[in-house]
Chain A
Amino acid sequence: MDGKDFKDCYILDLLDLGIAIVDENLKIYFWNSWLETHTKISKEEAEGKRLDELFPDIDKESLMRKIKTAFALKSTTFLLASVKGYLLKIPLKKVTNPIYKFMQQDVSIFPLSPEEGLALIVIHDQTPVQEAQYKLRKKIDEINSLKAELERYVKKIEQLSITDSLTKIYNRSKFESSLDYEIERARRYGNPLSLIIFDIDHFKSINDTYGHLIGDSVLTEIANLVKNNIRSTDIFARWGGEEFVILAPNINKEQAKILAEKIRKLIAHHRFKYVDHVTVSLGVTEFLPTDNKESFIKRADEALYLAKRKGRNRVEVK
């Protein structure tokens, strides 16, 4: 290379890269044939002109800064397709599924001759890589959105699997799994655990008199009433038909009786939407160290049966 004459740099014309030699003011001293082909600007047109004359959209400040930095560092500076897209605006002619309008370029700026103020600009066409990354990112976004949708469905299914479809309180299956868990806890820590079972008095006649739809609305109203008057730690579920259960951790049978009385009065004094008067009978018991799940439920059931036998609309403890 002689001074600023780069006419003999034919090797640079063979490379599959864009190569330009410029000074700090972006005046072009060499323009290789790759650049001629892609920019449609010939060597003769380019050499002697400034890059920003040929490409008015170029980020002149940033490029001049990078050239200056390369000289100061005596090392390469870079401009990335993933950040800036491109240095030279080269339209792409691809017609099948084009993603980018302009060629995506990684650019390396070498301090060719800091004494003469010359820098070598090397442009790599990164369009295929950027396109592949773009497609990959889109796929990842799709997967993430599907994953989020799936998680929403799983949550919904989980919720449905533990919820009674009519009253929207817990169903029997959720109650039984909670019962196993709470019995285990009561055994381990020695805390009291109480159970209330109640059913609607003469529910059959409500159904017979007013029809099943009204019967269903009574069940829903009772569920809402009770749900809003127990602790968040109590597990309230529909046991089946017109029967409900409340599992009350950390309270003994005397405290559970108070809770049961409160519920009885609440329902007895409530003005139902379609039915004048509804009462419930409640059986209460407390978990004993000798109990298992079945004996615990059986005793609460017996207390309920006693409440029914003694005239209904009452609480019995066993």
Chain B
Amino acid sequence: MDVMMLNHEEKDVLQEMVNISFGSATAIIADMMNAFAKLAVPSVEIIDAKDIFDIILEKIDRTEKYFLVTQMYMGDFEGETVFLIDYDSAYNLASKFDSIVMDENVSDITLELTNILTSSFIRSFAELMGVKVRFSPPSIELISVDGILKQHDFSNNYSKVIVISTLLEFEKENIKGFLFILMKEDSFKLLKEKINSMLE
């Protein structure tokens, strides 16, 4: 059995964990927006960290500008989350809160959305594993895809990535984002171990 892979059954458990976390994230987002919001069942993939840029290029439009939000999570389960959302989606989201949308508000709302998604997932993973995690303050930048490829190297420090593609439907507008949960080797092994204990 390859310790750095998930088999079919393990993937099913992971998908279920993601679905549950997403349920609570949706409720918080809907509450935050004070309106009905629906999150489509997210698609989940597990990839090697070295393939992250291929996946980014596959999923997003090279000509668009994206908000890139990164946040570290620390403890027994360690790594980094990367959330990518295109500017138009972020702007649509911000326009639900402010009648006059300023760039700083677009960034701030994007940070909040990221924080909700990141915390919901990581916390539920940590709870499952019986470990505590802390979050560092996030950082946000508006960047082109080429900028991401040039300025960021996620493959060096991490071994595995859970890729979660999200689609938030809100008042007929689609807000599309991608969450990448980057994990160190030990954290991935711990996650796999806990998933297996759930299967027993």
Contacts and interface: CB of A to CB of B under 8 A. Distances in A.
Interface string A202-238: 0000000000000000000000000000000000000
Given A62-B108, A78-B111, A83-B104, A73 B140 contact: no
Given A73-B123, A108-B137, A80 B111 contact: yes
A95 B23 CA distance: 52
B70 interface: no
Interface string B37-57: 000000000000000000000
Interface in A213-270: none
Number of chain A interface residues as a range: 20 to 34
B139 interface: yes
Contact of B31 (A61, A72, A74, A106): A72
B28 A80 contact: no
B19 interface: no
Contact of B32 (A65, A74, A76, A108): A65
Interface string B74-113: 0000000000000000000000010000001001100110
B15 interface: no
B138 A78 contact: yes
A75 B119 contact: yes
B32 A69 contact: yes
A73 B32 contact: no
A69 B112 contact: yes
Interface of A: 61-62, 65-66, 68-69, 72-80, 82-85, 106, 108
B137 A80 contact: yes
Contact of A73 (B104, B111, B120, B139): B120
Nearest to A62: B108
Given A82-B140, A108-B137, A72 B108 contact: no
Nearest to A126: B137
B31 A78 contact: no
B99 to A, nearest CB: 12
B104 A68 contact: no
Contacts of A84: 104, 108
Contacts of A77: 112, 115
Given A72-B27, A83-B111, A84-B104, 19 more contacts: A61-B97, A66-B112, A68-B31, A72-B31, A73-B28, A73-B115, A73-B116, A74-B123, A75-B119, A75-B123, A75-B135, A78-B137, A78-B138, A80-B111, A80-B139, A80-B140, A82-B139, A83-B140, A108-B137
